[in-house]
Amino acid sequence: MDEPDATDWARVCAGDPAALGALFDRHEARLFRHARRLLSAREDAKDAVTIAFFELWRKRSTVRLVDGSPLPWLLNTVAHSARNLERSSRRYRTLIARAPRPQADEGPRGPDESGVLAALRRLPAREQSVVVLTILEGYPERDVAQTLGIPVGTVKSRLSRARGKLRDEMSRLEAS
């Protein structure tokens, strides 16, 4: 009988999340290695371990222990979770493979560098931050000044300069 597991398990059954944390710390590496053998993606292996511990907590009143330890139950649950994740991934890959491919002449594949966002990115960083916080995020000038650690007048002047630059840039774009 594994004494630390038995002690922690009694606390888990009593609803102590710290005891679940102790079990996690003790068995996570072994469960991860098990999941990693079953899955090709490292992130899926982490998910399988996480799912197993969530299920352990959720089903703690019905979990069968072996020699006082939930490790065999966890190993089995990791294996089931790994199979489910692998099946889900396979279905996703099949769905993506069936999706129509975009035609070569559908337009640019990268971000559109000709619009307002491109003009915003060309502004100096100080003006960008004022525009983003006031215009895009809707914060009052007083709050923006406090956040940036500058006077309200500076926020107003930067905003005015930025609006002028954006207006000029958009006029040039419309003309071309």
Residue 2 pLDDT exceeds 80: no
Residue 110 pLDDT exceeds 60: no
pLDDT at position 115 is 74
pTM of structure? 0.56
> What average pLDDT is seen over the chain?
88
pLDDT confidence band for 106 (50 / 70 / 90) = low
Mean pLDDT over 35-60 rounds to 94
CA distances from 76 to 53, 73, 91 (A): 12, 5, 23
Q: Which residue has the higher pLDDT, 110 or 9?
A: 9
Cα(94)–Cα(88) distance, integer angstroms: 10
Mean pLDDT over 118-147 rounds to 87
Mean pLDDT over 59-72 rounds to 91
The DSSP H or E segment spanning 170 is: helix 152-175
C-beta pairs of 11-14 under 8 Å, 24+ apart in sequence: 12/56, 12/57, 12/60, 13/60, 13/61
Cα(15)–Cα(58) distance, integer angstroms: 10
Cα(24)–Cα(138) distance, integer angstroms: 44
Residue 67 pLDDT exceeds 70: yes
What does the angle CA 72 – CA 74 – CA 79 come to, to the nearest 5 degrees? Answer: 100
